[in-house]
Amino acid sequence: MRRFLRWPHRRLPGMRAVVTGASSGLGRALAWQLAQRGVHVLATARRADRLANLEDEWQAAGGGRGSLQCLPGDQTDAAFRSTLLEAATDRLGGLDLLVLAAGSGAVGPFEASSPETLRRVMEIDFFAPAELARLCLPALRDGRDPAIVFVGSIIGRHPLPMHLDYAAAKSALTAMAGSLRMELAADEIDVMLATLGPLASEFWESLIDGNRAAWSRGRAMPATRAARRIVRGVIRRRVEVIPGLQAKGYVLASRLFPRLFDRCVMRRAGLRRPFVRFRASPRHRGTPSSK
Ligand SMILES: NC(=O)c1ccc[n+]([C@@H]2O[C@H](COP(=O)([O-])OP(=O)(O)OC[C@H]3O[C@@H](n4cnc5c(N)ncnc54)[C@H](OP(=O)(O)O)[C@@H]3O)[C@@H](O)[C@H]2O)c1
């Protein structure tokens, strides 16, 4: 019943938000745009100098209706996650919006990768946002019109070869967002998933392992434009936003024609499967005759 009484659109001015991954790309654009729209933002990432620049730029621009403060730290560190929540409570007086934009990836064949790379990618892209969301739930429950935004990827909706670690982490995050959305509906905490295609950011220059393959390059969307779509999604209480036609096309085509989609991807990646298999399987190879 209380749900019917909520405003159809979320009113951002005065909300209190934590934004992760705010030292560059999407997270930075989200922190800036939310603050411009009157949100009191606590922005975080590891690089303190980048965050200090963000604060300086915000002050130099004359600020806006909201505010922008920063706290550097590594989101994979459980102690830092607690410090972040304490800082949000102390400095902002509570928490209404949690935007989980930090992420990193790895590229390369599975066999040549390492257990450390797989674990690191899972830590950054899945465990850290999942645990930060869990930690923030009591504060969000006390917040005004609360919401959590998970930042996923089209690769989490349908994987690409040579992106196994990242695809696994983002697909786990996608599943988690869907599950949590239903679980938290009774608490009136909205959960939104942003499923992104290629962005113009530092993402591919700061991979944990490997380099971006030429075949996987798509037309990159400016991070500021993707951020605008996400902010609009938060306002309109969307369950999922997929910014850009390219990302929408990827998700739709991979869902409607999964085998054809895989074939096209494999062709682009130079991974061919023989059309007819001539090699007999060990079971049918026959045993030496025992005349
Ligand atoms: N770029 C793309 O093509 C693309 C496509 C689909 C989805 N995405 C997703 O979009 C999100 C934003 O990526 P982006 O394109 O804006 O990339 P980006 O410019 O590289 O930004 C990634 C942010 O995450 C932060 N970060 C990484 N590891 C961290 C850690 N351990 N602790 C705290 N912060 C950490 C980085 O800051 P520090 O290094 O300072 O910590 C940086 O601020 C990510 O979740 C990414 O997976 C990106």
117: pLDDT confidence band, cut at 50, 70 and 90?
Answer: very high
Residue 209 main-chain phi, psi, to 5 deg? -155, 145
Angle subtended at Cα 156 by Cα 155 and Cα 157, rounded to the nearest 5 degrees: 90
Count of C-beta atoms within a 10 Å radius of residue 69: 19
> Does any ligand 1 atom lie closer than 6 A to the CB of residue 199?
yes
- Residue 101, classified by CB atoms within 10 Å of its CB into exposed (0-12), middle (13-18) or buried (19+), is buried
Q: Which helix (H) or strand (E) holds 175?
A: helix 164-183
DSSP state letter for 159: -
The model carries a pTM of 0.93
Distance 291 CA to ligand 1 centre (A): 66
Decide yes or no: CATH 3.40.50.720 for domain 13-272. yes
Let me know if 250 is a catalytic residue.
no
> Does any ligand 1 atom lie closer than 6 A to the CB of residue 196?
yes
DSSP state letter for 92: I
Distance 25 CA to ligand 1 centre (A): 7
Pairing of strands 240-241, 40-45: unpaired
Question: What ligand 1 atom has the least distance to the C-alpha of 155?
Answer: 6
The answer to whether residue 19 scores a pLDDT higher than 50 is yes
Q: What is the pLDDT of residues 220-255, one digit of tens each?
A: 999 999 999 999 999 999 999 999 999 999 999 999
> Does any ligand 1 atom lie closer than 6 A to the CB of residue 46?
yes
Q: What is the pLDDT of residues 129-186, one digit of tens each?
A: 999 999 999 999 999 999 999 999 999 999 999 999 999 999 999 999 999 999 999 9
Distance 102 CA to ligand 1 centre (A): 4
Domain boundaries, the chain: 13-272
- Residue 275, classified by CB atoms within 10 Å of its CB into exposed (0-12), middle (13-18) or buried (19+), is exposed
Q: What is the pLDDT of residues 132-144, one digit of tens each?
A: 999 999 999 999 9
Compute the distance between CA of residue 141 and CA of residue 132 in angstroms, rounded to an integer: 14
pLDDT of residue 249: 97
Indicate which residue of 166, 203, 204, 250 is catalytic.
166
